Structure 1
Amino acid sequence: MCRAVEQFARRELGEPPQPTDHAEFRRRWLLAGRQGLVGSVVPERYGGSGLDAVAATAVLEALGHGTPDTGFAFSVAAHLFAAVMPIVEFGTEEQKQRWLPALCSGERIAAHGITEPEAGSDTLALRTRAVRQGDHYVLDGAKAFTTNAPVADVFVVQAVTTPGGGFFGLTAFCVEADTPGLTVGPPYDKVGLRGSPTADVRLDGCVVPADHVIGAEGAGAGVFAGSMKWERTCLFAAYLGAMRRVVESTVEHVREREQFGAPIGTFQAVSHRVVDMVLALESARLLLDKAARGLAGGSEDEVAPALAKLAVSEAAVRIGLDAVQLRGALGVLTGGDAETLLRDALPSRIFSGTNEIQKNNIARALGLGGSRRTPRRRAAATPGRATDPRPPHRPTHRPTHRPTD
């Protein structure tokens, strides 16, 4: 299957279209749907391919290796892991039958609305509100940096149903794109991932039926956490493919480019840099494979996906920089595979939780992320009395009888 995906990507997915060319994006999307890419991990009974996380990462790496349009691969992964998998894992049977077949075939596209102008990494600070009114909810708010928003048919939207409720205050909704009050802003003009259409979304009095709630009211944070495990693990496989493609072209370049009468690949400074690129790629692949195997096996480990996200994103930036450097002036010309990888890699350290947030999560799992303990104040010394840092013993209950005389 991976070979077929690579051949399809080379044949059909060349340079990314303009961000406003939605017709061309949809043409590509339908073709990807026929290849089984946009529903790869969805069970077969709902129109998907039924792949597990390990197989899904292999397929996405093949997609990233076959096309220079990493933005399109990113859009496929965002659709699948951030929007479709919440329906698979938390949706009712009726919801699955209603939405999944068309989302797997490529007829429809999904987007995930979580980030807001005032709430990025702090997902519990969302301002979008959902108020229950009988058999429906009314949603008001704004979402930012929403991948696939300009072309989406279905939005998975996180909103606050219990203000101040913290983890249990969020609820996830499926909102159809043609819902009155839902509007999508113009596509962003981004430095990287240009083949992935992205925009803001506004919700002004959107009436959403109560049976469009994913999971249950108050379960939104759990739904989001589940989608992030898929996204932080599987989405980044597309970058493995892009890195592998650039490493291969870099090796070819340093073999052919001659200076001082010899191929530059024979110079130790060059060859060692290429070795470092290979080391970064292969190390990142091992961590991502470990995370994928854990996810496929039902592991609840949150450290492995965070480590994989860190390793892949940092490796992608480093390999992009090295590839540009080894090409010299050719590396800074627009349209080259080295500078394209670098531009596409820059956002990877930000989305799906910034790399700083990943380090916080890992530190917390290691028992290092708690709040500092305030040092206990020692009692002042009294002449003739030894000081004891322990508080004096006090009874933990009141006596139930009077002392006898």
Structure 2
Amino acid sequence: MDFEPDQEQRALAERAFELGATLNDGLPERVRAGRFDRELWRRCGEFGLLGLSVPTADGGLGLDSLSTALVIESFAKGCQDLGLLFSACAHLFACVMPIAEHGSAELRTRLLPKLVSGEWIGANAITEPEAGSDVHALRTTAIRDGDHYVLNGVKSFVTNSPVADHLLVYARTSPADGHLGLSAFVVDRHSPRLTVGARFAKPGLATAPMAPVYLDDCRVPAANRLGPEGAGSTIFAGSMAWERSCLFAAYLGAMDRQLAQTISHVTTRKQFRKPLSRHQAVAHRIADMKLRLEGARLLLYRACSRRDRGVDSTLEVSLAKLAVSEAAIQNALDAIQLHGASGFLSEGGVVDALGDALPSTIFSGTSEIHRDLIARGLGL
């Protein structure tokens, strides 16, 4: 199966790389401060990054999964700020795409142009203190009251919540109906009785702001519900299919950039009167880094291709997500080892890739969850 990009895909990917490479100025200071840069966000919106997969009728580029992944990978290869790209992907796949695919005409017209352009920022609020991998254990409720719903609950680890304009909140409208009782609502960040808590400090993805969200009798117009009552599980599954494939293309780009930097280091750094690369142990470690990267890339491209052909891709998406996330951690560890003591210094930036990679085996479904999905796909 050939995944070689065509001329149009290649041109867009090259433009994404060029844009990403212009967004690295001041990165060490942003990372140390954990600062989200709204001007960089606006530039991403101008390029189209925040609406890659959104239909053209709603202001997006209308790209399929594979084209979207190619662009994200190229952007990450040029941009060293993986936190910025993580925020953009969380915005696009977990908030904007559900609105594009399930929102009413009024919601799409009112929200999507500003979300796609970068004027507004979106967030997804589903995880709770007692509901992580088990999303059906959600305790947040949404009780109908005339033309509104009243939401009560606590959401944790909400990416973009400190800077978001709108949040996609999942809540139980019918607790007795299990996964069929979950619904999704677009909630204005400035709604009365919605509070965003203190930002979390993180060792990676530092420029992607994250905080808990508290809903205390928060009234939301019924018109802001996506789809019918009880459609929340279907909406969430669709957003995860986008996220688990296309978002993880960012780690492919980051690993590609990391590999090139590491090869440059081992071919110029000398020990025992010869370049490090001439030592078999070093060369083999580089070979393993390349093997993990290319294997993960092929799995992800295959998953995206199957999605675009309308074929059930649950197994392929889990294989790709698992391979990419675990490769990102191991390659980051190898890069640190091959850079020696300098690889452990914050100033060099090598160690930052490990902090960025570590959460990749947790969000969008833990590695354990994806191994369960793979086993289930094999009939086990």
Superposition TM-score, scaled by structure 1 size: 0.89
- Per-residue displacement from partner, 1:151-209 (whole Å, max 9, x unpaired)? 10010000011113111010000001111111111211101100101111011111111
Pair 1:292 & 2:304 matched? yes
Name the residue aligned to 2:17: 6
Name the residue aligned to 2:98: 86
Q: Match for 1:216 among 212, 221, 228?
A: 228
Name the residue aligned to 2:217: 205
Q: Match for 2:246 among 224, 234, 237?
A: 234
Deviates more, 1:237-246 or 1:289-298: 289-298
Name the residue aligned to 1:327: 339
Once the two structures are TM-superposed, the CA of residue 345 in structure 1 deviates from its matched residue by: 0.3
Q: Whole-Å Cα distance in 2 between the matches of residues 173 and 216 of structure 1?
A: 11
Any idea what SS the aligned residue of 2:351 has?
Answer: helix
Counterpart amino acid of residue 188 in structure 1? F
Any idea what SS the aligned residue of 2:214 has?
Answer: strand
Q: Answer yes or no: is the 8 Å Cα contact 1:19–1:197 preserved in 2.
A: no
Alignment of 1:3-402 (within 5 A): 3-14=14-25, 15=27, 17=30, 25-368=37-380
Calculate percent identity across the aligned residue pairs. Answer: 51
Q: Whole-Å Cα distance in 2 between the matches of residues 158 and 56 of structure 1?
A: 26
Q: Whole-Å Cα distance in 2 between the matches of residues 286 and 12 of structure 1?
A: 28
Q: Whole-Å Cα distance in 2 between the matches of residues 204 and 101 of structure 1?
A: 29
Q: Whole-Å Cα distance in 2 between the matches of residues 286 and 229 of structure 1?
A: 17
Counterpart amino acid of residue 57 in structure 2? R
- Per-residue displacement from partner, 1:101-134 (whole Å, max 9, x unpaired)? 1000000010000000111001000010100111
Once the two structures are TM-superposed, the CA of residue 93 in structure 1 deviates from its matched residue by: 1.5
Aligned pairs, number? 367
Q: Whole-Å Cα distance in 2 between the matches of residues 165 and 208 of structure 1?
A: 22
Q: Answer yes or no: is the 8 Å Cα contact 1:63–1:241 preserved in 2.
A: yes
Give the 3 Å change call, closer, same or farther, for CA 164–234 of structure 1 in structure 2: same
Q: Whole-Å Cα distance in 2 between the matches of residues 128 and 205 of structure 1?
A: 11
Q: Answer yes or no: is the 8 Å Cα contact 2:34–2:207 preserved in 1.
A: no
- Per-residue displacement from partner, 1:331-381 (whole Å, max 9, x unpaired)? 10014342111110000000001010011111112221xxxxxxxxxxxxx
Name the residue aligned to 2:9: none
Give the 3 Å change call, closer, same or farther, for CA 18–328 of structure 1 in structure 2: closer
Once the two structures are TM-superposed, the CA of residue 18 in structure 1 deviates from its matched residue by: 5.4
Counterpart amino acid of residue 11 in structure 1? T
- Per-residue displacement from partner, 1:239-269 (whole Å, max 9, x unpaired)? 0000000000000001001011000100110
Larger Rg: 1
Any idea what SS the aligned residue of 2:219 has?
Answer: strand
Any idea what SS the aligned residue of 2:246 has?
Answer: helix
Q: Answer yes or no: is the 8 Å Cα contact 1:2–1:58 preserved in 2.
A: yes
Superposition TM-score, scaled by structure 2 size: 0.94
Once the two structures are TM-superposed, the CA of residue 13 in structure 1 deviates from its matched residue by: 3.6
Counterpart amino acid of residue 37 in structure 1? L
Q: Whole-Å Cα distance in 2 between the matches of residues 240 and 20 of structure 1?
A: 26
Q: Answer yes or no: is the 8 Å Cα contact 2:34–2:209 preserved in 1.
A: no
Any idea what SS the aligned residue of 1:280 has?
Answer: helix
Counterpart amino acid of residue 245 in structure 2? T
Q: Answer yes or no: is the 8 Å Cα contact 2:332–2:354 preserved in 1.
A: yes
**Please, which runs of 5 or more residues in structure 1 have no aligned partner?**
369-405
Q: Answer yes or no: is the 8 Å Cα contact 2:55–2:62 preserved in 1.
A: yes
Q: Whole-Å Cα distance in 1 between the matches of residues 65 and 294 of structure 2?
A: 19
Once the two structures are TM-superposed, the CA of residue 21 in structure 1 deviates from its matched residue by: 7.0
- Superposed CA RMSD in Å reads 1.3
Q: Whole-Å Cα distance in 2 between the matches of residues 21 and 270 of structure 1?
A: 34
Q: Whole-Å Cα distance in 2 between the matches of residues 296 and 225 of structure 1?
A: 16
Once the two structures are TM-superposed, the CA of residue 300 in structure 1 deviates from its matched residue by: 2.5
